[in-house]
């Protein structure tokens, strides 16, 4: 457990889901304590942390956490990776999309097969300096074309098992330091990937992350609220106690790290705002291991638009400029931060006659950060020829768990992936460098 707080805090007895998971929480906590004892001080990450007016060295005793951060940007709705990282060198692409293809002459050249949509120009400097890369033709097992089934399965990440927790929760079960800031979602909703015994935090924004009632009487209110929830059901008590602890931790971060820094300029909108909050948290030195951000509205069944205007172009402009600002904002922390985009599925290769794309399968994953082996498109390209498609879709030749798993093991200090991705036995592609 980290020794950040001077006042003892309540540890809820159970997870947010079922009794079984409550029992799992208890065993998890004791197992983690054992791990900590076994690993000793050698595994502790030291972080400079502002407490009140005093800058203090705080020791975050982790079970092997390296101090690095994985940012998962969920492109909910079904991101069309073929419009973003365009296979302009594959004739199948232009044959399938007579009206909505991105013309080859407009592509920002990446290699002989692929080029970026011109709306993604803000990411080209990062492509060139090797901190932005792509994995193409990524998919998941048992492809479903239901948004909701596919999203649930992706966030559960345990196909063919009865495991009910989410993969981020299981990751923090192996690498967590015990801080409620180990896992943070910027937003209101709790993602399925957080389901399970570990306490993660959701927050809308750092400035608004405090009670409006107490004025100067904050400690009293926190103590009253803690006491009031002491014997409440876990589904109410756990988010309440996590909130109180997280508000106390975030208040210690204070305004010293508030951003944006390094001249970063975020685009207006929810994504820019969420990534700015994320960068502030990471720069503050808070023990954020996995940070989740949602950026939806990619379900373009009709009216996707053209290269020079419309739904897709507008989304890619916002996405790319927000990512570029994030990388700039992080400054030196970019070296220890890896951002990965995930979407529940890609879209059909062939356009429909509504000028849009129905649900498909294989997709592009975008990678941003210092650890990334950037400047190239990773993965095996299966091709878009008639005999190469999977029921009209781009085939998935790389399991998304291979991409995440590589970041977890090479950068975050996770040991075996058996617990995070039960039953998965993929090998690393070389998308990030070892530490």
Partner 1 sequence: MVSRARRSVAPASRLAALDDAAQLHLLRRATWGPTPDSRAEIARLGSRAWLEAQLDPASIDDSALEAFVRRFPNYQRSAEDVVRGGYQAVEWNLMFDVGRITLARQIWSRRQLLEVVVDVWNNLLHVACPSSDVWSSRQDYDRTVIRRHAFGSFADMLVDSARNPAMLQFLDNTSSRAGAPNENYARECLELHTVGVEAGYSEADVKTAARLLTGLRANDAGASVFDASRHDGSGGTIFGFSYPAHAPADGFRWIEAYLRWLAVHPATAARVCRRLAVRFVGDDPPASLVDRMAQVWRAGAGQVVPVLRTMFTSPEFAASAEAKTRTPQEDFVASLRTLGTGMEPSGTAGIVKLFWHALDSGHAPMAWPAPNGYPDVAAAWASPSGTLLRWNRHMDFAGGWYPKELQFKPATSLLDALPGTWGGLVDALALRLTGSPLSADERNALLSYTGRGAGTPLGAGDRWVQNNVQYLVALVLDSPTFCKR
Binding to partner 1, residues 4-43 (CB under 8 A): 16-17
Contact 132, 123 (CB under 8 A): yes
Of 357 and 404, CB closest to partner 1: 357
* Residue 188 engages partner 1 in binding (rule: CB under 8 A): yes
| Spatial CA neighbour of 157 closest among 142, 146, 177 | 142
Angle at 383 between CA 403 and CA 381, to 5 degrees: 25
Query: Which is nearer to partner 1, 34 or 230 (by Cβ)?
Result: 230
Return d(Cα 65, Cα 175) in angstroms, integer: 5
- How far apart are CB 39 and partner 1 at their closest, in Å? 28
Contact 151, 143 (CB under 8 A): no
If DSSP states are collapsed to H, E and C, what string results for 181-219? CCEEEECCCCCHHHCCCCCCEEECCCCCCCCCCCCCCHH
Q: Which stretch binds partner 1 (CB under 8 A): 90-98, 171-179, 237-245, 421-429?
A: 237-245
**Min separation Cβ 144 and partner 1, Å:** 8
- Residue 203 near partner 1 by CB under 8 A: yes
Q: Which of 83, 76, 78, 74 is nearest to 314 (CA)?
A: 83
Instruction: Indicate which single residue of 22, 89, 92, 296 sits in contact with partner 1 (rule: CB under 8 A).
Output: 296
40 vs 215 by CB, closer to partner 1: 215
From candidates 142, 308, 391, 433, binder to partner 1 by CB under 8 A: 391
Q: Could you tell me the smallest distance in angstroms from the CB atom of residue 361 to partner 1?
A: 12
Instruction: Looking at residues 132 to 171 of the shown chain, list those that interact with partner 1 (rule: CB under 8 A).
Output: 145-149
- Residue 156: its H or E element: helix 147-156
Q: Does 77 bind partner 1 (CB under 8 A)?
A: yes
Query: Which residue from 33, 265, 302, 425 is in contact with partner 1, where contact means CB under 8 A?
Result: 302
Q: In a 3-state reduction of DSSP, which class is residue 123?
A: helix
Beta carbon nearer to partner 1, 126 or 298? 298
Omega prior to 239 cis, within 30 of 0: no
User: Biggest alpha carbon distance in the chain?
Assistant: 69
- Provide the minimum distance between the beta carbon of 83 and partner 1 in the complex, in angstroms, as a whole number: 18
**If binding is defined by CB under 8 A, does position 233 make contact with partner 1?**
yes
318-329 burial: b if 16+ Cβ within 10 Å, else e: bbbbbbbbbbbb
Q: Which stretch binds partner 1 (CB under 8 A): 93-101, 110-118, 239-247, 410-418?
A: 239-247
| Residue listed under structure tokens 């008639």 | 386
Binding stretches for partner 1 (CB under 8 A): 16-17, 76-77, 145-149, 180, 185, 187-190, 195, 201-204, 209-214, 220-221, 223-233, 235-240, 242-243, 246-247, 296-297, 299, 301-302, 352-356, 358-359, 391
């Amino acid at each position: 457990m980290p020794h950040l707080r001077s006042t003892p805090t309540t540890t809820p007895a159970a997870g947010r889901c079922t009794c079984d998971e409550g029992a799992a929480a208890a065993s998890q906590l004791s197992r983690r304590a054992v791990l900590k004892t076994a690993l000793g001080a050698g595994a502790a990450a030291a972080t400079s942390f502002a407490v009140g007016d005093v800058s203090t060295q705080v020791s975050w005793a982790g079970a092997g956490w390296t101090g690095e951060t994985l940012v998962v940007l969920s492109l909910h709705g079904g991101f069309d990776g073929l419009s973003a990282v365009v296979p302009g060198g594959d004739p199948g692409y232009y044959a399938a999309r007579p009206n909505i293809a991105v013309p080859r002459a407009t592509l920002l050249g990446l290699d002989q097969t692929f080029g970026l949509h011109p709306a993604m120009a803000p990411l080209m400097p990062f492509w060139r300096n090797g901190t932005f890369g792509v994995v193409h033709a990524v998919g998941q097992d048992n492809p479903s074309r239901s948004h909701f089934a596919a999203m649930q399965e992706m966030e559960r990440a345990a196909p063919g098992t009865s495991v009910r927790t989410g993969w981020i929760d299981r990751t923090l079960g192996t690498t967590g330091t015990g801080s409620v800031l180990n896992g943070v979602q910027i937003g209101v909703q709790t993602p399925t990937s957080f389901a399970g015994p570990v306490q993660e935090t959701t927050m809308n924004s750092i400035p608004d992350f405090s009670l409006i009632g107490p004025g100067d009487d904050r400690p009293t209110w926190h103590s009253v609220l803690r006491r009031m929830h002491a014997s409440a059901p876990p589904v109410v008590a756990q988010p309440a106690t996590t909130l109180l602890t997280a508000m106390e931790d975030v208040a210690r971060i204070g305004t010293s790290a508030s951003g944006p820094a390094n001249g970063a300029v975020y685009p207006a909108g929810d994504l820019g705002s969420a990534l700015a909050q994320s960068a502030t948290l990471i720069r503050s030195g808070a023990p954020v291991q996995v940070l989740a951000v949602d950026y939806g509205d990619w379900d373009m069944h009709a009216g996707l638009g053209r290269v020079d205007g419309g739904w897709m172009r507008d989304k890619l402009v916002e996405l790319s400029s927000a990512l570029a600002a994030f990388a700039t904002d992080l400054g030196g922390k970019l070296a220890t931060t890896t951002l990965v985009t995930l979407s529940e599925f890609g879209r059909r290769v062939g356009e429909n006659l509504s000028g849009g794309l129905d649900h498909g399968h294989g997709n592009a994953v975008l990678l941003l950060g210092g650890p990334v082996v950037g400047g190239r498109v990773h993965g095996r390209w299966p091709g878009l020829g008639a005999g190469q498609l999977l029921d009209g879709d781009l085939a998935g030749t790389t399991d998304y768990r291979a991409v995440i798993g590589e970041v977890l093991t090479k950068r975050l200090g996770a040991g075996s992936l058996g617990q995070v991705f039960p039953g998965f036995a993929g090998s690393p592609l070389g998308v990030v460098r070892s530490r």
